[in-house]
Every structure is written in structure tokens, then in C-alpha cells.
Chain A
Amino acid sequence: MTTPDVCRLEIRLLGRSSVLRDGAEMDLPRSRKARALLAYLVASGQAQSREHLCDLLWDGPANPRAELRWCLAKIRPLLDDETTTRLVTDGDYLRFHAEDVALDVARVRALIPSTADDVATDCLCQTAELLRGPFLEGVDLPDCYRFDAWCVAERQALHQLHDDVLRTLVQRLKDQPDAALPYARNRLVLDPLCEDAHADLIALLHAMGRTAEARERYEQCRRILQHELGLTPSDRLEQLHAQLTPIAPAFATPSPSRAPSSGAPPLVGRQAELACIREALEDGTPLLIGGDPGIGKSRLLQEAAARLQGAGAEVLGGRAFEMDATRPYAPWIDALRAIPAASTTIPSALRQELAALLPELGPAADDSGDRNRLFNAVAQLLTERSHAGMTVVVILDDLQWFDEASAALLHYVARATADAPVAFVLAARAGELESNPAAQRAVHALRRDRALRMLAVEPLSAADTVAVAQSVAPQVDGDRVFRESEGNPLFALEIARSHRSGQPLLGDTLGGLIAGRLAGVGEEAAALLPWAAALGRRFNPDRLAAVMNLPSTTLLHGLEDLERHAILRAAEDGRYEFAHDLIRRAAYQSLSEPRRRLIHLQIARSLARGVRQSRLWCRKKTIHLPVAEGQARSSDMEESLAGEVAYHADLGGDHALAARACAVAGRHALRIHAYQEAAALAQRGQTHLEPLPDETRLPCSLELLELYIHPGMEPHQPPDLEQRLRALVREARAFGTSGEVHDGLYLIGVLLYLRGRYSDALDFTVRAERAGRTADPTTMVQAVAYTARCLGMLARDMERAEQLAREAQDLAEQFDVREPGCELPLALALVAHHRGELQQARAHIEHALALARRDRMPWWEYYCLSRLPMIELERQAPEDALEWCHALQSVAVKLGDGAEVPFALALEALARLQHGDGSAAAALDDALEQLRAADSQWMIAYVQSLAAWSDWQAGRTDAARERAEDALHSAEVIDQANEVTVARALLVRVAMTAGDRASALTHLERIPSEAHHCLSARARRAAEEAAAAAHPAIPR
């Protein structure tokens, strides 16, 4: 049979199942049974009776034939098209005709008819391409035992075939190691316990000159064999190893073992580096220390910290760990906790903001989506502490592992404290910063803004290396240590320790030495090691005991032993940490994949018990129930664990727990403004959804997508977010779960609201309400108030604005929503101002102003503030207006270019004019010139109308006419009915004063009709007064 180059229909059953038509992947049915049916009909290639298929896949439902019909209806559109019917029914039998279909399983069997040995190499390469994963990956139906037996048998046969193909390819290509290497690696992925595959890989690496990698591989294989199978390496492996290490490392007879100190190793040399740190601190420039792992960066930081503390500086130190992406701000949290008695010494004004990071400070501020407030609080805290006469030094280690939020905070704080005595000393692994864009951005910014200095820590000199090694093992051969370690102090120490303890040397790499040392600990310590390593570089001993279910005496003995061997050391807050990350990594890597998975699974489940009590575990979080302060704090503590649950559940393969924990951790990340982390969690959570049953998958999908619906998440939103939500709503409808239908509609409503599509948003929230429960009251109030405020600002449809403002107010009262933002009071103020209720307008505006200030929204603060002198001027209260003008100007200058400053100056000049200060006219004209340059026609119209009124009252008729005409022109440019009315009314009054009745009549006639416009009280009054003034003089 020949297969055309591009088949119209291609079916892949190896790896993730897929069906492609003309090269485009089609959506498979969600139901696993439908997918299993498709695979069975396609792969078996024979006619199957309906009865057989029902027995195969349905064991129990009342009507398996109906289920079968439903599944067939789902898969027919995938297999058949307009011209070809491939799924053919013949009486009670069904058969799939595969003649013109590219089916990967069939192709593999055609390429390898008997054994791999009999097949040409290029055919084997093609087969290896096709075998991209296990047969029917993810389509397991353990409850359908007939199908399961068939599937497992097929899978095993193909697995064996895959192994044969890869083995044969590696053998045949051994003279071309570059070509053979990927096959050797794939074979190891297929079976990590296959010693033969390890040996092949080691031989290939050696042949390619990658001897160090080959040695690492040997050690890994040796550990796996020992831990998993209790075996020692075979002769073949040992022979290979001997080729890799022609000169076995030999040291002098080891001296008797002695308990080493658990403290830090001595600092040897490094005088130039310490001098560089001192210089940077004196200059006030931040410093970044770079260097290879184990070169001594952290030890240098430790030394610098000790010296600075000795000199009376306040040192705030924190470090990132490789797993910290699940714990946003972790290095900063540690650094801030280093403040002595933080809970009492941190100023109360900053506590609410900082509580997002340090829950022990009390209740946190509401989440407003603006993380600058949090960043500002941290910067302010450091500045205030430094102004208290103390030099504050922030020391942050392992920058290459910083999460995005920590890196952004570093950038912000370093910039905001540029003028304060706050110093920054940072460290990062050489060459690893490039893989962390956020940390790299922070470094670039520090270079640009604060002339960041760089210090590269170089290997130690021969003499210093010897001194380091001999501080631990005085008898060790110093020259040899230097030669082996190449001046890397950690390596030198490991060689010395290995020598001192008399442990057999299990390799000549750093990893091998560490592994050897780990192998020398007692039984209790050895049991702890893998769990501690899986928990992370720094861990809490209570947690270790809880996840391992250990009695405390066993735990203490184990920990003491590990401390004595300088594998662990005590860290702050009663925690322990691995003496170096390379040590943790060695302990972790000694575990086989299945064991790692089990350990992570148990850790995840143990930690999850703590998090489940958190209020964030329940999605509907927006209505806060009153809780005692202590309770609130403890739940905040637990929430931060969710990231760790997600991390461990992910590695442990518990999809349901991982997806849920990602959602919980994502919500926590949102609360502390760590948006990139929240986006990463949303993405990671979604990778766990596929295997979940529908009843779990739907709510989980919604929870994860909900993470994107937040003002701070806009840059991270997937472009098809709305469509995905709509698809989930459709699915939920199909399954008849009204709760999810409501949630989905509600989320679409909020999304549209955030995107400014207010009327659509309202429509969806109303539909959500109809679909089930009540929508979140805070969002409802804000959505309605937002629309009212927009209409109020436009001063067009004021009736609707008023109606919506009242509706928002009623909703807020009904649901006890208090002060969600400045929208509602501002909308109420604009409505009251329009109606001429100036006292009420002022009260609402003052309220809105306080909220805009609370939420640090400078432009809205300006907008609210600008209405106050306007109200006072309209009330003819120039003194009160003047008071507001000063405040307005100080806010306006911070807003940069625009019309804000000239408008503030113009209002002040108007107040002075109204107060009788004629000299203010020049200032007014200056401000008007600036308003013209800024091209703000409404402001010109408003200011000129008020000025014209003052001129007219003072008898300056010509000036009044000129200004009123200018106001009219500007108002007409922007078609603003209120200002057109006021300006024309003024022109009527001016014309009447001048005795020009014809003009007065013309202006009066052209005043916008009340019937067509919703005029403000001010405009209506002006029009009425003009009509009254003109009326007796105008003949009817």
C-alpha cells in the first residue's frame, strides 16, 4: 500500500491522540469513551458488533446502546467527510475503512513487519519519528476492564517495539555518535532503569569527548541502580567508568573522622572583593556580585553582612531559591522579616500595605490592582529607617532565581531610594541571569538608573585554595586539591571533607564528591535527606516531620547528623537549609523518577490539608465575612502555601489537586500584585485539566480563567479569553450545571466591564444573575457607577446618568458595599451639580476626592478637586474657591503637559476677579492663552462665560461681549449645549444692556431648545433670566 504525501485524513494514536484533516488538527470529543471508541475501531481495523462495543466500553449504564449511539455521533464527523464514509454500518456491525487514511500505528507495523534487526536503518529512523509517545496516551479507562486489557497489551507491544528500534539504531549508529545520541537519550526516557541504555549513553558521550557529562551520567546510573534495584553497576558499566577516569583520585591515608563544625566555612583571601564591596557602599552605588556556583558569592555576602552589622548598619538579607517562582516576593519577605521587631517598629501608616507581604502585621489593604502602592510602601519603609540615622543595606542573593514580582520590586525600591542612605548588594550566578528576563531587566535598569557596579568573583589562588581545604582537613594534599578544584572553594571543601571522613570517593566531579558524602550519613539522616531535598533548599523541620509522619526524636537525631556532616545548617526562624544548593540537588537527583513523584505527592497532600482551611480555597471571596483578626492572619499565612502545594502536586502527578492549588495560589499572587506569577500559575493549572472528569474540569477551568480577569492581569490575558469563557459556558449548559453557567456568564460580564464595554458587561451580569446566583455586589455597584460617571462627565444623557447613579447607590446600600472606589460618589456629585444642588454636589465631591486620594489616582484626584472651585464660583463664593485653587494647582503640576495647570490658574484668576481684584484679568488672559495652546475648548468656554459674567456685572460691557463670544465659539466647536446656552444668555444680557434689541432677540432664539437637550440647572437658569430680561423689551 502506498501512502500519499499528504493524506486528507491523518489519525495519530501514538502519544497524544489527534485527528488531522488536510493537515489541520480537529477537536476531539471531550468524552474519553468517545475517544477510546474511535481508537478501538481505527486500530483494530475489523468489523465489530455493537454488542461487543457495548461490552467493551460500558459496564453498567442502563442503556449502553444509547451511549454507543451518542459516542458514534461524536466521532462520525471526524472520520467521514462529504465524499467518503469511512465508518460503515453493516447490520449490527461497524467497521472503519482505513484505505486512504494515514494511521501512525499501521505505518509503524508496515515499516517493521517482524523485528527491528531485519529492517533498514532509514526505515528505523522513520519508525522512531512515528513513535512519539505511548499508545493512546491519557485514554485510560481502568473501569472498562476489556478495553483496558486490550489497550495495555497494545501499549506494551509498541513499547517493546520502540525499545528495540532505539536499541538497534544506537548500535548501528555508534560510529556516528552525534546521530546516535538522541536515540540513546530517548531510550533512557522510555526506561530510566535500563542499565544497558545508560551504558550506551555514557559510551556515546565519551566518544564525543563529553567526558565530564559521561561521568555525571555514570554517577546518576550508579545511584539509581543502588536506590531502586539494590544493584551494583555491571562489569560493562565499570569498564566504561574506568575508561572515563584513567587516573583514579588517590589521597593520603585518611585521618580518623571528626565531627566538623556546622557553621560557615572560613573566609580565605577575598580581600580585593571585600574592598570593592566597601567602595560600592561608600559611593552609594548598588553592587552585583557574579560568579560560578560554589565560587563563594554567598560566603562573601555573609562576611559583608557580618562586618556591616558589626559597624551598626541595618542589614536586610534575603535570597531566592530555585522553587521560589511559586512563592512571589520570597526574598523580600525574608529581607523585611530581618527588621528587628518588625511587627512593632514598622510605622502604622505602612502596615496595611506591607501586610500583603507580612501577614503578621495585621489585615492587608484591599486589592486595588495597583502594585505600586505596595512597592511604594516598601521603599518608604527603607527610606524612613535610613533617615532614622541608620545605614540600611539590602543584601539579596541568587538573583537568577528571582520571581518577576521580586525583580520588579527591586527595580522600584532601588530607584525610589536613590537619594536615601539605602545600599544594595546583590549576587547572581554567572551566565544564569540571561534565562530570567525579569531579573535581567532589573539589572539593566539598575545599571541605567543607579550606575550598578559589577564584581566578578574569580577562583581562589593556589595558596588560598590550600588554606580553605586544610582548614577542614589539615593533612590533605593541597596541590592536588587545587588541581582538582581549580580554585573553586566549595569543590575544595568537598574534597577535603571527603578525605577527612575516609569516605570512598565515588567519582571525581563535585557532584560525585557530594554524593559520596551524602552516602556516609547514618540511617535516620539518610531517610530524611530525600524528603528534605524535595521540600526545597530551606525548610521547616515541623513540616518535614509532618509530611514524613515522624516522631520528633527521630527527626532530631537525623537533623543533628546532617548538621554534623555540614550537609544542613540552621537558618533563621528555626528553619534548616542545605549548606549549598548543589548539595540539595545531589540529594534530590539520587532519587529515581517514580520515587520523586511519590514524595512530591505525599508532600502536596500533606500541605494541602493546611491550605484547605484558607478562605481562598473557596472561590467566592469577594464578600468578606467578619473574622477575628487572629483568624484572618493565620489564613493569610496558609494561603502562601498554596504555591508549594501546586508545585508538589504538579511533580507528584495529582492533576486535580495541582489544578485547584494553582488557582488558589494564583488568587494569592493577585492579592499581592504578583501578576506574572499569577499568569504562570493559570497556565500551569490548565495543563492539568485534560485528564480530569468533566464535573471537576469545568469549575477548575473557570477558576483558572478567572485569574486573568483582574485589572493587573491585562498584559497577560490570552487573546481568546472571551471565546474560551463562552465555550465553557456552552459546555456547562450541555452538562446542565447551572452554577458553572452562571459563573462563566458572570466572568464574561466582568471581563467586558474591564475592557470598557459597559453596556455589554451589564447585559452579561444580568444574564448571570438570571442563570443562578447573585452577581458579586462590589463589581455590580462599580460597573453601574462607572457607566453613570462616564455619562455624567460627558454631560449628555444626564437622565440616564442620574438613574444609573441612583441604581448604584441602592445596590451599594442593599448589599452593604462600602466605598469600593471614587466612581459612585463622583457620579452622584456630577448629577447633583447638573441639577444645581450645589451643597450636595460638594459633599459628594469631597467624598470622591478622599477615595481618589486613598486609591492614589492622581488624575481623578485632580478631576474631583477641580469641581470644588467651580462649585464655589457658581455659588459666588470666591474666597472658598480660592482655598481649593491652591490645592488644585499643587496636584495639577504633577500631571505634566496638558490643560490641568492652566485650568487651575484660570480658576484662581476667576476667583480673584469675582472677589473684585481687577488685576487678575491679566493672569486670566495668560491662563486662557495656555488653554488655547492645550486646545481644551470646554475649559475655555467655561472660564470665559464666568469671566464675561464678572465683566458684565462690573459694567465692562465690551469685555463681557468679547469673552461671551469667545465662550460661544469654543462651546460650539465641541457642541456643548450647556455652555452654548450660558454664552448666548450672556450675549442676550450684554446686548440688552447696550440697547441692541435685534442682537438680543437673535441670541435668545438660538438658545438650544430645552425639549432637545438635557440642560444643567445653571444653563436653564441663565436662559430663563435672559428670557425674562429680554421679554418686556421685545414686542410680541
Chain B
Amino acid sequence: MTYLVMERTFGEPMLDADLELMGQRLGPCLQDHRVEWLRSYLSHDRRRMICTFEAPDAEAVRLAYRTAGYPFERVWPAMVLPTDAGLAPPTP
């Protein structure tokens, strides 16, 4: 499995209700594409978001978002940097 990062921006600040709804809609699509959601970060102005996933490939995340009807800026595979020991390869 690969670590994946997805970037999104929103025209309007995301409300808690929007986030909840997004979660509800995306859940089954992510599952269908074998994407596991790890964590999300929302900017304080609620207009930018970074989500991290584990999935077979980046396309799985893109397809899940496309089929659920949610746009995104980009999805890219990533490696994880540990705190004090230089680069680390992505954990399988």
C-alpha cells in the first residue's frame, strides 16, 4: 500500500455539516476502491484541506473522489519522514 496525499481547496469555508456529509458520501466510494483514510488537516480559514490515505495507488483515491462527485486539486504518492533519522521509505 502507498501513502497518498490529497490537496483540496474550497470556494466557501467548509462547515462541520459539509464535512460530515462529505464523509458520508465518500466512505463507500473509498471502501470500494480499497482506500483507507488516515488523517485530514483543515486550514483555520476552512478553505484548504490536506487528506492522507493508504491505498494501492493514487488513481484509486482519484477514482473514489470522482465517482463520489468531489473535486480535488491533486493526489500524490508520498514517503514519510521520521523525526530525526533522515528519509524513510514508505511503509508497506
Contacts and interface: CB of A to CB of B under 8 A. Distances in A.
Interface of A: 714-715, 717, 719, 754-758, 790, 793-794, 859, 863, 896-899, 934-939, 973-975
B18 A756 contact: no
Given A714-B21, A717-B21, A756-B24, A973 B56 contact: yes
B73 A756 contact: no
A936 B17 contact: no
B17 A719 contact: yes
A938 B26 contact: no
Given A757-B28, A935-B2, A973-B56, 6 more contacts: A719-B17, A794-B33, A898-B62, A934-B58, A935-B59, A936-B62
Interface of B: 2, 4, 15, 17-18, 20-21, 24-29, 32-33, 56-60, 62-63, 66-68, 73-77
A974 B56 contact: yes
Contacts of A756: 24-29, 68
Nearest to A715: B18
A897 B73 contact: yes
A793 B33 CA distance: 10
Nearest to A936: B59
B67 A935 contact: no
A937 B59 contact: yes
8 contacts: A717-B21, A898-B75, A899-B58, A934-B59, A935-B58, A935-B59, A935-B75, A938-B59
A935 B77 CA distance: 7
The CB with the most chain B CB atoms within 10 A, among A714, A717, A757, is that of A714
A896 B67 CA distance: 17
Contacts of A935: 2, 4, 57-59, 75-77
Contacts of B2: 935
Nearest to A757: B28
A863 B63 CA distance: 11
Contacts of B15: 715
A899 B57 CA distance: 12
A790 B67 contact: yes
B68 to A, nearest CB: 6
A862 to B, nearest CB: 10
A937 B57 contact: yes
A898 B74 contact: yes
Contact of B28 (A758, A793, A896): A758
Contacts of B75: 898, 935
A801 to B, nearest CB: 12
A966 to B, nearest CB: 14
Nearest to B69: A711
Contacts of B27: 756
A782 to B, nearest CB: 13
Contacts of B25: 754-756
B10 to A, nearest CB: 11
A791 to B, nearest CB: 9
A108 B26 CA distance: 55
A755 B32 contact: no
Contacts of A754: 25
The CB with the most chain A CB atoms within 10 A, among B18, B26, B67, is that of B67
Contacts of A975: 56
A238 to B, nearest CB: 54
A68 B67 CA distance: 56
A749 to B, nearest CB: 15
A974 B74 contact: no
Nearest to A791: B32
Nearest to B58: A935
Contacts of A714: 18, 21
A757 B24 CA distance: 8
A754 B21 CA distance: 10
Contacts of B66: 859, 863
Contacts of B76: 935
Contact of B58 (A755, A758, A936): A936
Contacts of A790: 29, 32, 67
Contacts of A938: 57, 59
A62 to B, nearest CB: 48
Contacts of B32: 790, 794
- Chain A to chain B: the 4 pairs with minimum beta-carbon distance, closest first: A935-B58, A936-B59, A897-B74, A937-B57
B24 A755 contact: yes
Given A935-B2, A935-B77, A793 B67 contact: yes
A719 B66 CA distance: 24
Contacts of B73: 896-897
B77 to A, nearest CB: 5
Contacts of B21: 714-715, 717, 755
A937 B33 CA distance: 13
A520 B29 CA distance: 70
Nearest to B21: A714
A938 B17 CA distance: 35
B56 A719 contact: no
A899 B61 CA distance: 12
B26 to A, nearest CB: 7
B19 to A, nearest CB: 11
Given A715-B18, A756-B26, A899 B62 contact: yes
A973 B57 contact: yes
A859 B64 CA distance: 13
Contacts of B26: 756
A974 B60 contact: yes
The CB with the most chain B CB atoms within 10 A, among A719, A897, A934, A935, is that of A935
A740 to B, nearest CB: 25
A758 B74 CA distance: 27
Contacts of A863: 66
Contacts of A758: 28
A936 B57 contact: yes
A899 B24 contact: no
Given A756-B27, A756-B29, A896-B73, A939 B59 contact: yes
B67 to A, nearest CB: 6
